[in-house]
Structure 1
């Protein structure tokens, strides 16, 4: 076993232990408050990314907060539909599909790490690929994020259609990947000719620091329209007093506050603001 493998195993075991501890029985009489997280990548990575959210809410509210990270997208839909969570954090398109299961009075728009309520999807390709515009994707292999993602699939699929490309007929093949880092790496390694990622992931990759790939080898050839970032919602069966308590705590989170900056950076968010269900009606696909 290589040193890298040993480090990965150690990190995995540590995270597993943390997950087990988070599932420990609550103190006598204390309700476990379940916060479901949309599994946009591996459950382990999602848990690691958002465990700070559970810690913050537990500390701020005194509640016993438990993250619920399903194994896949279908399991997330099932958990919400069967009242398996009290709150959920998800892609805006996923919220639009499940809106009937949430209380519209307790709805928060998640902000990006830059404090914006919207994000965009972008298409990346290697600079030496000869792909300079959307029309150049004809006959090329492309990788998207999960099929429910507004930025990593839905808006990009529409962008291709607006440029006369049907993904089933005109691409040389396509598949659905996981997180943006994985998509970037696959394009960099020439396993795919192009990929769809979030604009903030592209910006992050171009910032100073260590990265898995050389950003100078890649380029953005097109971008989709701005769409809402993720949505935090209270389940319709969640007690109103509980929903108000959690909402009040989340509204305190602000990337401008040094006390919260570290945790928010790990979660790749900049805070929360009140939202209305009507803001997401047009995101259904």
Structure 2
């Protein structure tokens, strides 16, 4: 075999290999090391269930996760409800939500503050420094902002300063350190920090919990072959807390189980985004 032939064969093998890799990413709602820890066991599980190599591809921010799926640079994304809506709009309706956690049917955000801050209700935030997470976060920005507006508070007008931490763990840190007076974040991340004793609730705690709303999901591009989409969906729905593997994956993903979902579940988030001026 000539060198040229070997080169071409190697190239073609590489192309074939690339087509057999399922690329997965997630909105970076926590530190990169935590994202890798959280989704590592799931990628191994999907490799066995789908029969393909699975590669976890971290992205730098929430908009990058949207663009990655819209442009088919990745195949499967863990979106927040709002980033799913953004991807759906950006793609012209080509994003398909396939599964969500049962917890995502009645999701909530929490507002936290230092115990000595004097803040006990949303109205007390007037004139204060308040942090959200990423500007594209559902639980760390969109829905907290939406409920603030419903309560008659406009963050851009009524707060002394609005900050964006970029991630839920950084949001908690901003309150603990006193960089801001209060902040809003994902209730499950807060509960994880409390359960793991990473935050002292005698010093920092929740003073307001929002009403429920739909949130996160796993989504694919509509151009993915239906057979592959169905395999991934079936694998996610099959995860069971009664098996060691299922328990590990679901616990890491702060889920009791995955259930089917549809685009209609996120129409309320799109309406909230338009009302809050976050979708033009």
Partner of 2:147: 159
Q: What is the CA–CA distance in structure 2 between the aligned matches of 1:221 and 1:258, rounded to whole Å?
A: 36
Contact 2:62 2:83 in 1 (8 A): no
Distance 1:206 1:213, change over 3 A: closer
**1:86-235 superposed matches below 5 A:** 86-99=75-88, 100-103=93-96, 107-112=98-103, 117-207=105-195, 209=196, 211-235=197-221
Which protein is bigger by CA-based radius of gyration?
A: 2
Indicate whether 1:32 and 2:13 are aligned: no
Q: What is the CA–CA distance in structure 2 between the aligned matches of 1:199 and 1:49, rounded to whole Å?
A: 17
Contact 1:167 1:174 in 2 (8 A): yes
SS at match of 1:232: strand
Shift of 1:30: 6.2
Indicate whether 1:59 and 2:48 are aligned: yes
> Deviations for 1:51-84, whole angstroms, at most 9, x for unmatched residues?
2211110122221111222122232222122121
> Between Structure 1 and Structure 2, how many residues are aligned?
254
Aligned counterpart for 1:251 among listed residues 224, 228, 237? 237
Shift of 1:229: 3.1
Distance 1:82 1:205, change over 3 A: closer
Partner of 1:75: 64
Partner of 1:21: none
> Deviations for 1:126-160, whole angstroms, at most 9, x for unmatched residues?
11111111111111101111112221111111222
Shift of 1:39: 2.0
Shift of 1:275: 1.2
Q: What is the CA–CA distance in structure 2 between the aligned matches of 1:216 and 1:257, rounded to whole Å?
A: 36
Q: What is the CA–CA distance in structure 1 between the aligned matches of 2:223 and 2:21, rounded to whole Å?
A: 15
> Deviations for 1:97-151, whole angstroms, at most 9, x for unmatched residues?
2231224xx6212234xxx633101111111111111111111101111112221
Aligned counterpart for 1:238 among listed residues 221, 224, 229? 224
Instruction: Mark the runs of 5 or more structure 1 residues left unpaired by the alignment.
Output: 1-24
TM-score (norm 1): 0.81
Distance 1:27 1:43, change over 3 A: farther
SS at match of 1:216: coil
SS at match of 1:226: coil
